[in-house]
Structure 1
Amino acid sequence: MEIEGGHYTLTKQLQKGSLLIYHCPDGYYPYPAKTRLCQHDSSWVRAPKTFNPQRCRVVECPDPTVMEYGEVSPPQEKYFVNNETTYECYSGYTMRGSARRVCLPNAKWSGSTPICGRESGHNCADPGIPAGASRAGNIFGIDDTVKYSCNSNLFLVGSRERVCLENGQWSNKEPACYYKHTYDTSLEVSQEFGSSIRDRLTTSESLNDTQSGKMIRISKNGTLNIYIAVDISESIEEEDISSFTVNPNYEIAFFSSEFYEVVNILDFFNEQQVERSTIINIVANFKIGQKNTGTDLDLVFKNFLDKMAFIKQRVGTEKFKEHHHVIILFTDGAYNMGGSPVPTVARIKNMVYMNQTGEQETQSREAYLDIYFCDWK
């Protein structure tokens, strides 16, 4: 059960149903497992293996040498935390982005993607290639597309495909290739998500009647529904909820093996005046009167799915199309009750995407659903 270079905690000691959680110092991550669950037959999932002992590995960042028309120094087979890289463009090309980057403890590179471009007569500028990625497409005229994929054991976050628009901008956001041990820092979540809410989802009108942000887009006459769930099981040591300067419809709940509803989103649809200050007071004064040992993540999504279904029935299908849903879960991501939440999440997507099956139709609906997992660190 031991982990080399780190330590572990148990939610229920060595009792059945206990969750073992591995912890590593900053700049390291647990490998090969982050957690293990004690089953009712007294075996662990995932089971420890003597030939692959649990240890804290040094954080690795994606390969930055994918940059075109320039050089990356120093050239290395792998890049680890605190490694520094510099970028220089070939003659005739101009640098955009960061000329110096550092591999951070969360497995991301500091700064922004370095791009070596030049005047080519294209409508859109070269969109570059993020670290660890490959790109198909080198023509950047109006309606031209570029497609991204990730190398080796990385997974893609963001838009797999981007289109050159008439205004000279690329659609969607730049994708990124992450390892499984990559995570967003609390500062990143606060800045990017919070500023997106405050600065983009305002009552001001944009030229095309649509307000767009880095992650969230909503039409001027649309509705924003925010669902917040905070894990209060024994595996969690602290909690925090951020407030925003806009007035969306809120569903706020705490959860462990049970679902404790604090603010019911349906109250906003019953012509009740729900003030933001009232919401904050309710959350601050809410008390949990029992010990919370289990974690049922699927129960959270099922409750949110039920609320979405009720809202859709209440406002009608056409108006529901303009509802943007943001689900925020503060949790360590581990669960030991209720089974996998994946099927329920698929049902939520199906509802918001309006049963669209084509790739283009699905992408047009993806802007109406965002799911954030804010991992307790």
Structure 2
Amino acid sequence: MLLLLLITHVSVSLAVQCDLTKVAIIGGSYTVSDGGNVGSKVEYQCPNGKYPYPKYTRECRYNGFWTDQTTKAICKDVRCPKPVSFEGGDYEPRQPFYTVGDTLYFRCYTGFEMKGPQNRTCQENAKWTGETTICEDNNGYCLNPGIPIGARKSGSSYRMEKKVSYTCQSGLVMFGSQERECLEDKSWSGTEPSCRQWYTYDTPNEVAKSFSSSMLENVDTTNLDDRSDKSVRIAKDGLMNIFIVLDSSKSIGEKKFNETKSASILFIEKMSNYDTKPRYCIISYASKAISVVALRDPDSNNEDAVMEHLDKFQYDRHADKQGTNTSDALHAIYKHLIEQELVYKEKGKKEDFMKIHNVILLMTDGKYNMGGDPRKQMKLIKQFLDVGIRKDNPREEYLDVYVFGLGSDIDQPEINDLASKKEKEVHTFHLENVDKMKKFFELMINEDDVFDTCGLSKYHSVEEDLDKRANVMFPWIVKITITLNGIQYCKGTILSQYFILTAAHCLNLDDNQTIKVRIDGKEYTVKPYRHPKYDPISKVDKGIKRAFDYDVALLELEENDKIKFSENARPICIPCTQVTAQALKQPGAPCSSHEKTLLSEEEVKAVFIADELNQPMKEMHVLIKRGQKRSACLEAAKKATELKNVTNIEDAVTDQFLCTGGTVPVVDPPVCKGDSGGPLLIQVKRRYVQVGIISWGTVDHCEKGTRKKQTQKNARDFYQDIFKVLPWIQKVLKEKHEALTFLPN
């Protein structure tokens, strides 16, 4: 007789809990999630310069015990790796270990040249300051690749095709390339390795700096030291894919997922400021991968639509959040690429597909636990894109994989293996938690790295003093001092490294006139050019004591004294230029489309920059009145004292001028004399485009340097419309061989 026993597993609802008295840490603090129930986590915090031993976290298991419960938690001193070997020189002090604040001093033997810092200091995150110090004898085909602190190097020949390999001291984890080869172009393959403690984290600032410098290799479009046309790395027809891969597993939780999601939206917003238009693919993964945005979607290259799709995506879309199936997420990328290639093939553009630059941003808070090893999927992607396969043409520039490990539960070798390995670039990052990730997203692609990008402001993240804040908030503003029978002050904007845009009425063009401009703390002498049609006495016979038509001028810096772009000195965007077309996301569109985009409404939101006593260069919000709304400007101007004898007000207020002011629908702040020559700006996301130049007004709103509040309903301010004088600006710049490309009408 066959006896069949049916055994059923019954889930008992007994409230198993772990003992909360077992989780205290000596010298630190901790938090417990879910009250110590099964699956809850303890997270430890230690003072700066210390780390929690034996781990950052503990988890309550089904047997009622915490992980590592038998080991007492304690905050220990952070230790930086110690040197294992150093070639061509020596270092001191030689100690069994190095703690925060300790400094290593390097020296090279006679005949060797020091590359890198002479001193390096141990930091709170267990990393040494600065780059690897190398003593170079210049005897190899490639330069000495160096020995990172904590590593050993095998191989001392630096001839072409020779290899060196690295191992880390016991107990340390390697990030970067274990093996590197001397290449024909005298560079080393892969990424310089680093040997790290298990508790080492990258700071948000470190990640932002490394990621930004690497990412900008893909989006940077200008050689600042060259006055010639821009050298574009990524074609402006959008030959770039960006894959954002978000971990949505249970350990992340809804709150942290939303933080990562909002940070990713910030990344997309920042990318929209650069002169490329990528297609996005957003993938969320837990036990399975879900494509939030697919490459095939018609709006995948519309950043606004992509951000909207991502914002609407809910954490609960994943029914099963138990797993971390990184393989499925990467396989989803693989399928998207196959699909995209088919589309290109059908159009007979297979070669164009192979020119697409692919960027993958993979974020995870834990090692994979289902779906197989994700490294196999990454290998498939590389094979499909023909990246790193052929030695004669590795095509590594067409794929960048950035991996961001979040928290202490990640598999460090796993994230290192998945990331790209490129010379002088870092693609693997380990951040302490999602909060640090969010901070990194706020800092990444820092405006400091794209000084030449027109109309870019750093106003959103400035904490400096008022003067410093004003410089980085409005880095395109120039203060102008004109000396002739007294001193007059005006403003202008930086057009390029050689030209300043301002108002003609600021200049007299007298031989005895001295014009100085101050930019980023440096004073420049300039040569003025005033629009030939500007003639302040041309309409006296019409009762207009001073006319302002064509109120535009250019100031040229000397050839050997050009502006050095910095966070305090950047160019402004002006309409109908190629760089502004990229800012407006209208590559290939004619000049007329810029005016339609920027000045299409009857009331257009704009800003001008005013000097305030307690806040230098304050942003003032106004409304440009156009169409039917502009008629109120004409009626108000008729009531101005200086225009009372004008028969036809349109002789004074010609179509040369844009108008703001009045009290309807809101009270517009007034312009003062010291603002003359400054810009009237329209903000497009985080870029500013100048559409006007502050020219004249019907009321003097300043008294002893203090700006009075606008209360007069008939007060109006007028600005030279830049669209009306663009031909002249273009003519002057072209004659001077200035590399600012203008668009056809």
Instruction: Calculate the TM-score normalised by the size of structure 1.
Output: 0.77
**Distance 1:144-1:254 versus aligned 2 partners, 3 A rule:** closer
Q: Give 1:354's aligned amino acid.
A: Q
Shift of 1:115: 0.7
Contact 2:283 2:329 in 1 (8 A): no
What do residues 31-84 of structure 1 show as CA deviations (whole Å, max 9, x unaligned)? 21222222334333x2311xx311222221111352212121111111122211
Residue 117 (structure 2) aligned to one of 86, 98, 103? 98
Q: Would you say 1:82 and 2:101 are equivalent positions?
A: yes
Q: For 2:379, give the aligned amino acid.
A: N
Work out the CA distance in 1 between the residues paired with 2:395 and 2:77.
Answer: 39
CA separation of 1:342 and 1:180: change in aligned 2, threshold 3 A: farther
Aligned residue type for 2:214 = S
Structure 2 partner of 1:249? 279
Describe how 1:325-340 pairs up with structure 2 within 5 A.
325-329=359-363, 333-334=365-366, 340=369
Quote the residue 1:25 is aligned against: 47
Aligned pairs for 1:224-263 (under 5 A) are 224-229=241-246, 233=253, 236=256, 239=260, 240-241=263-264, 242=267, 243-244=270-271, 245=274, 246-252=276-282, 263=292
Secondary structure (helix, strand or coil) at the match of 2:36 reads: coil
User: Aligned partners of 2:203 and 2:280: how far apart in 1?
Assistant: 24
Shift of 1:253: 5.7
Task: Measure, in 1, the Cα distance between the counterparts of 2:131 and 2:24.
Answer: 38
Q: Which deviates more from structure 2 when the two are superposed, residues 53-62 or residues 231-240? A: 231-240
What per-residue deviation string (whole Å, max 9, x for no partner) do you get for residues 216-270 of structure 1?
A: x99x997433223166516849543333234333333667889786x41x2x324
State the one-letter code of the partner of 1:90: Y
1:251 corresponds to which letter in structure 2?
Answer: C
Instruction: Say whether the 8 Å CA contact 2:287–2:370 is kept in structure 1.
Output: no
Structure 1 residue 374, shift from structure 2 partner: 4.7
1:4 positional shift: 1.6
Structure 2 CA distance for partners of 1:341 and 1:366, relative to 1, 3 Å: farther
Superposition pairs of residues 30-41 of structure 1, within 5 angstroms: 30-41=52-63
Q: Looking at both structures, which has the greater relative contact order when contacts are Cα pairs under 8 Å and sequence separation is at least 6?
A: 1
Bigger mean CA offset, 60-69 vs 311-320: 311-320
* Equivalent residues of 1:321, 1:352 under 8 A apart: no
- Aligned partners of 1:247, 1:5: CA distance in 2, in Å? 51
2:403 is matched with which residue: 337, 352, 372? 372
SS in 1 for 2:180: strand
> 1:172/1:183 Cα in 2 relative to 1: closer, same or farther (>3 Å)?
same
> Are the equivalent residues in 1 in contact too, given 2:254–2:315 (CA < 8 A)?
no
More helix by percentage:
2
Count of aligned pairs between the two proteins = 351
Q: Does 1:275 align with 2:313?
A: no
5+ unaligned residues in a row in structure 1: which ranges? Answer: 205-210
Amino acid at match of 1:47: D
- 1:11 pairs with one of 33, 36, 59: 33
Counterpart of 2:77 in structure 1 is 58
Q: Which one of 183, 188, 193 corresponds to residue 165 of structure 1?
A: 183
8 Å CA contact 2:182, 2:188 repeated in 1: yes
* Contact 1:229–1:300 under 8 Å retained in 2: no
Matches within 5 A, 1:128-207: 128-201=146-219
Give me the whole-angstrom Cα distance separating, in 2, the residues matched to 1:112 and 1:102.
11
The whole-number CA distance in structure 1 between the counterparts of 2:308 and 2:405 is 22
Deviation at 1:107, TM superposition (A): 1.5
Taking only aligned residues, the RMSD between alpha carbons, in angstroms, comes to 4.0
Q: Distance in 2 between matches of 1:370 and 1:325?
A: 6
- The answer to whether the 8 Å contact 2:285/2:324 transfers is no
Matching residue's letter, 1:269 = R
Contact 1:225/1:325 (8 A) holds in 2: yes
Which AA in structure 2 matches 1:226? F
Equivalent residue for 2:465?
Answer: none
Aligned partner of 1:208 in structure 2 is: none
Deviation at 1:323, TM superposition (A): 6.3
Match runs of 1:116-135 below 5 Å = 116-120=135-139, 122-135=140-153
Distance 1:259 1:78 in 2: 45
Q: 1:255 to 1:235 in 2, by over 3 A?
A: farther
1:354 to 378, 383, 405: 383
Letter in 2 for 1:129: I
Indicate the larger mover: 101-110 or 17-26. 17-26
Within 2, Cα distance between the matches of 1:123 and 1:287? 53
Alpha-carbon displacement from aligned partner over 1:100-145 (angstroms, at most 9, x marks no partner): 111111211111111112242x222211111111111111122222
Candidates 45, 48, 52, aligned match of 2:69:
48
CA contact (8 A) 2:327 2:372 kept: no
Corresponding residue number in structure 2 for 1:305: 331
Task: Go from structure 1 to structure 2 and tell me whether the alpha carbon gap of 1:28 and 1:11 turns closer, same or farther (over 3 Å shift).
Answer: same
Gaps of at least 5 residues in structure 2 are: 1-22, 223-231, 407-432, 437-745
* Correspondence for 2:372: 343
Q: Give the match's secondary structure for 1:86.
A: strand
Q: Matches of 1:39 and 1:15 in 2, distance apart? A: 9
- Relative to structure 1, the CA distance from residue 289 to residue 226 in structure 2 (aligned partners, 3 Å threshold; closer, same or farther) is closer
SS of residue matched to 1:298: coil
Q: Which of 105, 130, 133 is matched with 1:111 structurally?
A: 130
Query: Cα 1:315–1:259, aligned 2, differ >3 Å: closer, same or farther?
Result: closer
Percent of matched pairs sharing the same residue = 27
